[in-house]
Amino acid sequence: MKPAATVGADQAAQEGKIRDRIYETVYLVTKAIDVWFNAWPKEQVDRMMSQPELENVFKVEKLDFKAPTPDEAVAILDGADVEIAFLTSLKQGFHRRMRPGGPRDRMVLDVSFRDLLPFLERYPKRFRGLYGINPWLMMDGVRELEMAVKDHGFVGAVSHVAGFAPFNDKIWYPFYTKCCELDIPVITQAGHFGEFMPEGWAHPLLIDDVALDFPELRIVGGHTAWPWCDEMIAVALKDPNVYISVEAHLPRYFEPSLVRYINTRGQDKVMWGSDFPVTDPKGNLEQVEQLGLREEPKRKLLRENAIRVFKLEL
């Protein structure tokens, strides 16, 4: 028979293990995953801020882009209780400009996937990469996408249709095919964007076209697809391979139909993001808490859906 002190110590140790398991389960489940976070080199931020096609969006949205270091980016995540952020190597062109070599470069923003490697290498558990598609690179870009995924662990691709071509244009199709082969999603801006470029190129019904042509491709319609939120919901509801992400819009501005969708039949279809620095992750998440979501849909929105759709290894 063990002495009482030993029994008490054993019981305390067992209770401690139980508390640890409860803590790990609750803490890890509730820590958010940000599916769209921008941390670009200063030269790319400066390049973007100088573009006349983007002047109005900076003025209207009062945006002030920064170029955080890996340590600064992690501090932002820690302050918001965000476990993982997907970094975008975003590309954006402008179809009406002269071609490269002419008076003006056609690229408005041209972040290389290599620009993200210092973040991924220093904090491999905190960051994942999204390869930014430039469809004008054609097969050179397809090969680079494969390199980013296979050699550097990128978990998806991101398309910013503004300035390139509509989402269902065949110029994107080699990249969609490669995403299917690599078993990675593509996330795209859907709906409104502030740039002085054709907004209809990001309509959710174009996503429906691609979803039908590529049933194996997981597609995430980003930025809530406002002002076509209902159309985006309809496409996600119909197509098993289509999802929604809600970055770039503060939750207090979410359409009521989107909130209902998140909280009910769309609870497995929607993912959270900040689009930092367009919105601050901490302030954004504080507003998520004010949406009145049930606990299970909220947990799926903030974490579980991203793990499943992007097949994350934690």
Query: Residue 268: inside a domain, yes or no?
Result: yes
Give residue 29's pLDDT.
45
Provide the residue range defining the domain that includes 9: 1-30
Cis peptide before 68 (omega within 30 of 0): no
Tokens of 242: 């289509």
Cα separation of 299 and 308, whole Å? Answer: 13
Same domain, 22 and 87: no
Same domain, 221 and 94: yes
Give residue 216's pLDDT.
98
Instruction: Tell me how crowded residue 125 is: count the other CB atoms within 10 A of its CB.
Output: 8
Cα separation of 212 and 193, whole Å? Answer: 25
Give residue 122's pLDDT.
97
Same domain, 152 and 22: no
Same domain, 185 and 303: yes
Query: Residue 94: inside a domain, yes or no?
Result: yes
| CATH (domain of 218) | 3.20.20.140
Same domain, 62 and 15: no
Number of domains composing the chain:
2
Taking Cα atoms as reference points, which of 184, 180, 131, 136 lies closest to residue 158? 131
Query: Residue 314: inside a domain, yes or no?
Result: no
Walking along the chain (314 residues) 10 residues at a time, the average pLDDT comes out as 56 54 46 95 78 68 76 97 97 75 72 96 97 96 98 97 93 98 97 81 97 98 96 98 96 97 98 95 97 97 98 94
